Structure 1
Amino acid sequence: MIELSPYALRLALYLALMLLFGRMLFIRPAPARRIFLPLAVIALAVVLLDAAVRVTGVLGLPLAAVDQATVAWFTTATPVGEAALVRALALLAMLPLLAASAKVAAARRVILLPLSAVALASLAWNGHAAAGDGIRGALRLAAGTVHLLAAGAWVGAIAAVLHLALRTQGPSLRERTHELWQVAHGFALPGTVIVALLAMTGTYTYVDLQGSLQTLFNTAHGRWLLFKLALVAGMLGLAALHRWRLVPALATAIRGGWQFRPLRSLRHSLTFEAALGLLVLACVAVLGTLDPLA
């Protein structure tokens, strides 16, 4: 039987780190204390909780029995612990920069963005992406890292555009809608690049792990992967709907006689896309624990 708590923890870990990186990547500087600082604090809390669960699981000890020597061994002598340490240090380094000012200035963002990328990329240091040696292992790790960063960019962009679509404070509704249109319209090219990177790195990794059509249909990993791909296909369909219909309709509503319906339709579609994205991450949380060939 599937244990829910480990999968939920993995889902929270992926979601927090992807939101932090993706929001930092695409949206212009925003109030730090309102968006990025809480995200960084939540991400750090999840990272520490994940590390605690892993070390107690490896040693079969209760959390109260874990001492300083155990923590030192875990973070310096195990690949999982080393990755968790780098993850935590990257997030800790972000906190004073985010708390120092109400705004994420451009100079701070130059430092914050690589730190958030390192925290997210460190998830690839364990599991399937790190299962290899030599050049082949390096290529697999690189593909896994790029796949994670591209996925984080997509998740963060969806969250950012949805936030703009749902916000009720600030300028007038028409001005907020115009800003939403600018951001959604400007995401067309980056979105295409992200999808291409996800497709190429995902295909390469699966083939490199000796995946085939047979394992795709006849293994638990393959069936979960098919479910994930079906969800991603749904997200791509919605992204196409946004680009070719809903966003142009929003522009028409802004230029011509104002109508609320295009904005409402885009809100609903973005909410549905975000829900599909959450299900995709849930699949990723399960896939990371399964053998691709079994």
Structure 2
Amino acid sequence: MAELSPYALRLALYAVLMLLFGRMLFVRPGLPRGVSLTLTVIALVLVITDAVTRLSGVLGISPADIDGETASWFLAGTPVGEAGLLRILGVLAMLPLLAINRPVQGLRRLALLALSASALASLSWNGHAAAGDGFGGTLRLGAGMLHLLAAGAWVGAIAAILQLALRPQGPRLRERTRELWQAAHSFAVPGTIIVATLAMTGTYTYVDLGGSVQNLTGTAHGRWLMIKLGLVGGMLGLAALHRWRLVPALAVSIRGGWQPRPLRSLRHSLACEAVLALLVLACVAVLGTLDPVA
């Protein structure tokens, strides 16, 4: 794991922590703990690997040469290390809560939601959002954290609705399709809020870092950002298709004579949106390593 490329490691870290947070946020009460427990174990491996990789890169030494004193200095004496320690402790604290052999709900779910949100928000210290001092730096960092949480909410919603869409229907076809419709239909308002939050925080951060329209075509960061925005535009197009065409068509199918086509169309569209979300995160993994103005 320690030999993952920096981009692959960043992509995996963002994807898993967003899925953890989004799953706790959007999957219905009483969710089975198995998937979340597996994601948490994977997240623990990734956050430890990320901390070791960053310390190794800072000092220019092999991970095998890191001793306890050096690790303590990094985790307790640097902002990036403290954020990494917060992630590690947050993910560790999730394990015993998920180890309880009961559906996740109530106060336990709220605690898991808070811990997963903290772990995800701490990734702000891994990118440009942490590059600032004073009040302006605090605003930038806050915008970065809010951007991550909104993105995690969107990724989690896609995963939750897709999970409902891909369930074996069997004899409960009509009931399970109605559950899918309710989940997709109820996401309309939260989805609008999430998109607005992403747009505002993303624009603020880019401008605050010195980005401009000219930089969108004149720098590597700008070109990658344009690719990311194009992919996000595709996700927005699919979201609009869900809201105005596919979800209403599913409702008509439930109320009237059953037709399999609306369910199949929604499944395919959700799968495409999930692929686009993964490609957006791949762009984010690259963007965090590039200078917005160079």
**Contact 1:79 1:126 (C-alpha < 8 Å) held by counterparts:** no
Q: CA deviation at 1:251?
A: 0.4
The answer for the alignment partner of 2:57 in structure 1 is 57
CA distance in 2, matches of 1:36, 1:76: 29
SS at 1:49 equivalent: helix
CA distance in 1, matches of 2:153, 2:234: 18
Alignment of 1:110-259 (within 5 A): 110-168=110-168, 172-259=172-259
**Bigger Cα displacement from structure 2, 46-55 vs 266-275:** 46-55
CA distance in 2, matches of 1:284, 1:67: 31
Q: CA RMSD in A?
A: 1.4
C-alpha spacing 1:53/1:170, structure 2 compared with 1 (3 Å)? farther
CA distance in 2, matches of 1:249, 1:231: 25
TM-score scaled to structure 1, two decimals? 0.96
C-alpha spacing 1:182/1:171, structure 2 compared with 1 (3 Å)? farther
Q: How many aligned positions are there? A: 292
List per-residue Cα deviations over 1:210-257 (Å, max 9, x = no partner): 111111110000000000000000000000000000000000011100
The answer for the alignment partner of 1:91 in structure 2 is 91
SS at 1:213 equivalent: coil
**Contact 1:219 1:293 (C-alpha < 8 Å) held by counterparts:** yes
Q: CA deviation at 1:13?
A: 0.3
Q: CA deviation at 1:102?
A: 2.4
1:17 aligns with 2:23: no
CA distance in 2, matches of 1:126, 1:139: 16
Q: CA deviation at 1:29?
A: 2.5
Q: CA deviation at 1:147?
A: 0.4
**Contact 1:17 1:119 (C-alpha < 8 Å) held by counterparts:** yes
TM-score scaled to structure 2, two decimals? 0.96
List per-residue Cα deviations over 1:100-119 (Å, max 9, x = no partner): 13210211012111111000
**Contact 1:32 1:101 (C-alpha < 8 Å) held by counterparts:** no
**Bigger Cα displacement from structure 2, 203-212 vs 31-40:** 31-40
CA distance in 1, matches of 2:198, 2:235: 13
**Bigger Cα displacement from structure 2, 280-289 vs 164-173:** 164-173
Q: CA deviation at 1:80?
A: 1.7
C-alpha spacing 1:239/1:291, structure 2 compared with 1 (3 Å)? same
CA distance in 1, matches of 2:33, 2:19: 15
Q: CA deviation at 1:79?
A: 1.9
List per-residue Cα deviations over 1:79-114 (Å, max 9, x = no partner): 221111000101111111111132102110121111
Q: CA deviation at 1:73?
A: 1.3
CA distance in 2, matches of 1:239, 1:211: 28
CA distance in 1, matches of 2:10, 2:156: 18
Q: CA deviation at 1:63?
A: 2.1
Structure 2's unaligned 5+ residue stretches are: none
**Contact 1:32 1:98 (C-alpha < 8 Å) held by counterparts:** no
Q: Which 4+ runs in 1 deviate beyond 6 A? A: none
Q: CA deviation at 1:170?
A: 7.5
Q: Quick one: which amino acid aligns to residue 147 of structure 1?
A: H
**Bigger Cα displacement from structure 2, 279-288 vs 203-212:** 203-212
**Contact 1:32 1:99 (C-alpha < 8 Å) held by counterparts:** no
The answer for the alignment partner of 1:288 in structure 2 is 288
Q: Quick one: which amino acid aligns to residue 66 of structure 2?
A: V
